[in-house]
């Protein structure tokens, strides 16, 4: 296993995922093992269908493995029920997705406030406003997602993710729906905030240049770990 186990934010041990496929079964991940040190930036790369997003989902406890275990901040996700895994995510994790995942009925401020309110934070509005200001959207607080550009929507998603000061940020192709220039701005912002908050970053990407900005790169092929650099 790679990484500093004693200071690991996430440990993955013998992780496999098999799903039914008609009368047979399909192996999506096969005995993946590694660890991510607290404060580290790790890129997960591989061709489409290599299992990147499945691995990220298992690390977040959004899905359960067929075999193996994921330990997050000392908690074995496979020993927790769905509600307990959701509580752990709310306490420790932030998420940035390719598709932004903003709620269309909420404006930028309300979208950013949502995880804070779910966590019972007293100063949710002030915290959300400060985060939106940090990502350069202080003039767009009342705008709804449909009135924001793709880059602005991803900035709201970043503000929402960092608003709860997560220990771990999971990002799945965060620039996948953005043009190159806008994507570069969002990535600069994400890495800057990640460094500022000391967050552990796990980034799924097909972009080798983006992966190179992380401290380590984990490479998947056909559901197997084929390299770690």
Residue stretches of the chain with pLDDT short of 50: 1-6
User: Taking the CB of residue 118, how many other CB atoms lie within 10 A of it?
Assistant: 12
* Second CATH level (architecture) for the domain 5-228: 3-Layer(aba) Sandwich (3.40)
- Sheet hosting strand 67-72, strand order edge to edge: 24-37, 8-21, 67-72, 75-76
pLDDT score recorded for residue 1 = 36
> Which of 84, 59, 52 is CA-nearest to residue 8?
59
| Rounded distance between C-alpha atoms, residue 93 and residue 107, angstroms | 22
In the chain, where the domains are located: 5-228
pLDDT score recorded for residue 14 = 94
Q: Where are the alpha helices (DSSP H) in the chain?
A: 52-59, 82-92, 108-118, 124-134, 150-163, 180-197, 208-211
Claim: this prediction has a pTM higher than 0.75: yes
> Which of 189, 148, 184 is CA-nearest to residue 169?
189
pLDDT score recorded for residue 197 = 87
């Amino acid at each position: 296993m790679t990484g500093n186990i004693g200071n690991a934010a996430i440990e993955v041990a013998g992780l496999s995922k098999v799903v039914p496929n008609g009368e047979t079964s399909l192996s999506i991940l096969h005995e993946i093992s590694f660890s991510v040190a607290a404060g580290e930036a790790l890129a997960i790369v591989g061709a489409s269908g290599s299992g990147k997003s499945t691995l990220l989902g298992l690390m977040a406890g959004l899905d359960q493995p067929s075999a193996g275990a994921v330990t997050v901040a000392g908690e074995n996700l496979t020993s927790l029920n769905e509600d307990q895994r959701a509580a752990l995510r709310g306490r420790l994790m932030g998420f940035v997705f390719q598709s932004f995942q903003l709620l269309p009925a909420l404006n930028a401020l309300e979208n950013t406030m949502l995880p804070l309110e779910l966590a019972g934070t007293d100063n949710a509005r002030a915290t959300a406003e400060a985060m939106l200001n940090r990502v350069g959207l202080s003039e767009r607080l009342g705008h709804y997602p449909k009135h924001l550009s793709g880059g602005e929507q991803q900035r709201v998603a970043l503000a929402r993710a960092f608003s709860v000061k997560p220990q771990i940020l999971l990002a799945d192709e965060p620039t996948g729906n953005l043009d190159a220039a806008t994507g570069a701005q969002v990535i600069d912002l994400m890495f800057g905030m990640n460094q500022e908050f000391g967050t552990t970053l796990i980034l799924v990407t097909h972009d080798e240049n983006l992966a190179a900005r992380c401290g380590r790169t984990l490479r998947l092929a056909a559901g197997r770990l084929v390299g770690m650099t």
